[in-house]
Amino acid sequence: MTDPGGISWDSSELTKSKYQMYVSDGRTTGNYSLVIPSVELNHTGRYQCNNKQPMRDKIIKAYELLVCPESEPLTEFFSKRVVLRCNCDITETDRVVWYRNTGHVGNVIKDTGLFKQTKYPEDLVGRLNASNPPYYLVLSNLSLADSGEYWCAVLYEGDCLSVTKIVLVEWDPFGINSTFYRVYSSLMACALLGMVCVLITVNLKTRRRDQESLKTRRTAAQRQRSSRVEEEGESDEGRGE
């Protein structure tokens, strides 16, 4: 196994902690995958698996790993056309990589690196235009199949300077982000507020009416008790005479 700096490791050496990676034991399964438990920025580079043979090594598999700083995803809604912008200042010496991961495909859209990608993916031919350098992409004739995640990575001399993550979502005219939904939500909120105000008003009137009725009953009871006391007093005076 070799890294972009030309350093070569034997599978037994990779188990040492200083490499922060290891090769799975494939003696029984035949799987000698390179495992990086915690990916860091310094892991960016090209990796290849070699089968050592007399006089030469045979390359079995080669990978390029791009590790970029984390960034908050941006959301773009589309109907038929959308412009995706790389959230970074780009110069002609920078390497720009646009990558997508949708429910249908996961591949590089545009790469200005050493091995420049001259062709767009087949399904984007005629539907994609890019600036030069490609700090933005224009996608046309979009459909639900184009929904997904799109990344723009900017690299300089092998180091990833920044990454822009964009989540592309199909715009629903009646969805939660539509004008219809916002107007509908506002009307429903106003209607609900009106109902609450009516309930509060009715409750206050009912409570006020109950309080007045209770006050009236208390007054009547007090008058009745006063009248009874007066009658009892007059009766006592009559017996005394």
Query: Structural domain boundaries of the chain?
Result: 13-65, 74-170, 173-241
For the chain, give the percent of residues with pLDDT over 70.
78
How would you label 141-158 residue by residue, b for 16+ Cβ within 10 Å and e otherwise?
ebeeebebebbbbbbeee
The number of helix segments (H) and strand segments (E) in the chain equals 1, 12
- pLDDT at position 84 is 94
Q: Cα(236)–Cα(241) distance, rounded to whole angstroms?
A: 9
Distance CA(37)–CA(47), nearest Å, equals 16
Confidence of residue 149 (pLDDT cuts 50, 70, 90): very high
CA-based torsion, 189, 190, 195, 196: positive or negative = positive
Task: Calculate the CA 199 to chain-centre distance.
Answer: 39
Q: Phi/psi at 29 (nearest 5 deg)?
A: -100, -20
pLDDT of 21 over the 60 cut: yes
Beginning with the edge strand found earlier in the chain, give each strand of the sheet holding 159-170 in spatial order.
74-78, 159-170, 148-156, 95-102, 106-111
Please, which residues have CB within 8 angstroms of residue 203's CB and are 6 or more apart in sequence?
Answer: none
What is the value of pTM for the model shown?
Answer: 0.59
How would residue 161 be classed by pLDDT, with cut points 50, 70 and 90? confident
- What SS3 state is found at 207? helix
Tell me, what amino acid is at 56? R
pLDDT at 227 over 80: no
- Over range 143-150, report the average pLDDT: 92
pLDDT of residue 222: 73
Question: What's the topology of domain 74-170?
Answer: Immunoglobulin-like (2.60.40)
pLDDT computed for residue 9 by the predictor:
53
Q: What percent of the chain has pLDDT over 90?
A: 17
Locus of tokens 């539907």:
127
Report which residue type is found at 27: R
Q: How confident is the model at residue 53 (pLDDT cuts 50, 70, 90)?
A: confident
